[in-house]
Amino acid sequence: MQNFDVIIIGGGFLGLSTAYQLSKMGVKTLLLEAGDIGGGTSASCSGRAQTCEGHLDPLNIQIIRDGLARHETLEEELGARYDWRKIGLFLLIRSEELWQRWQERSAILTPAGIPTEVVDRVALQKAEPNMNTSHLLGAAYSVEGMLDPLKFSLAYANAAQRQGAVILGRSKVTGFEVKNHQITAVKTKNTVYRAEKVAVMAGAWTSKVTRMAGVSVPVHFTHAEALVTERIPPMIYNNVELADFYETIHGKAKAVAIGVHPQLNGTLDISEAVTTTDQLHKGVSAWGVTSISKELVRLYPSLEKVRIVRTWGRPTSFTPDEEPLIGWVPGIDNLFVGTSLVITITTVPLLSEWMALMIQGKQSPVSMDEYSPTRFAVPAL
């Protein structure tokens, strides 16, 4: 039997950063991760600290702007380098309707502190001379952050441990003991742990985990495949994504939303082929790799002969309204949930601190009530 103030379930960006914040605040924290640290979705993502693609409500704009600012000093705070850098982002515009929409978004984002502009095809071609822009009207342009997602995960894990947190990989939670609407024990195969509070930060697995405690939270997921190329001489200078990324993938059984991200080591990280599925898995498909490759070569014809070094797939979680899910779960008094941030890397340094305060029963500096699970029906099973 082992006793803690807080047990966090899930060793991705959310769980690790919240474990760091809690332990820094003097809270005795245990983190249980089913696989390797970061081995869920976090360490396998593209590493973009997105800026201009989020919802336009005031809270979302604030957490993106202030979260990005936190990154400027976070490597120093965590005592580890994770290749933080700034890079331009072009969001490709393929229709008049999108052109208009991004003009309107830019007019809101720029004065709010997230400078964004719409550029025409000539300007895009000048910035990315190797891109085939023939099917494009132009792009929305902004500056965003980039990092190495595995190093970022490990930076948080190591910093949390230095603050006294116990971080256990290969420790899958297999069940809970629940009495009088309280989780009284968290079970792994070989050990039973106790804590006053339990925080489920299990990404796409969140709903599966809370179900073991008898409550169902509305966390869904899509499955995304990505690939990395061999090293090539520099020929892509900015991150490139679709301006209608979410419309392109959501509600479709299968869709490709091409994203191209030049890496420091000369490779290209290319995302993503997305499948709607009820299976949580880490696999890839012939369809995914082929479809991404076709879109890549359409956009950059000179990459036709470039070799793919590795492919992978991971689930990404989202809620029905595509807003984060953060707060106490109705029906179980000591169960907190944090997941589906959407713009995750940018906001996690800030939101992890706010979540750590909430878990202790304190106020976060800005209310996150709009992200509370109470906005959905959370049925007891």
Ligand X SMILES: Cc1cc2nc3c(=O)[nH]c(=O)nc-3n(C[C@H](O)[C@H](O)[C@H](O)COP(=O)(O)OP(=O)(O)OC[C@H]3O[C@@H](n4cnc5c(N)ncnc54)[C@H](O)[C@@H]3O)c2cc1C
Q: Which residues bind ligand X (CB under 6 A)?
A: 9-15, 32-35, 39-42, 45-48, 50, 172-173, 201-205, 209, 224, 226, 271-272, 314, 316, 339, 343-345
As measured in angstroms, the least distance from the Cβ of 78 to ligand X is 16
DSSP string, 294-353: HHHHHH-GGGTTPPEEEEEEEEEEE-TTSS-EEEEPTT-TTEEEEE--SSHHHHHHHHHH
CA distance 359 to 349: 16
As measured in angstroms, the least distance from the Cβ of 169 to ligand X is 9
Residues 298, 132: contact at Cβ < 8 Å? yes
**Nearest CB to ligand X, comparing residues 47 and 327:** 47
**Nearest CB to ligand X, comparing residues 141 and 318:** 318
Tokens (6 digits) for 20:
């760091």
**Nearest CB to ligand X, comparing residues 91 and 345:** 345
> What is the maximal distance between C-alpha atoms in the chain?
66
As measured in angstroms, the least distance from the Cβ of 34 to ligand X is 4
Residues 178, 214: contact at Cβ < 8 Å? yes
As measured in angstroms, the least distance from the Cβ of 225 to ligand X is 7
As measured in angstroms, the least distance from the Cβ of 66 to ligand X is 16
As measured in angstroms, the least distance from the Cβ of 130 to ligand X is 22
Tokens (6 digits) for 208:
């599966």
**Nearest CB to ligand X, comparing residues 106 and 171:** 171
**Nearest CB to ligand X, comparing residues 204 and 306:** 204
**Nearest CB to ligand X, comparing residues 138 and 203:** 203
Phi, psi values for residue 119, rounded to 5°:
-115, 150
Q: C-alpha dihedral over 229, 94, 320, 287, to 10 degrees?
A: -40
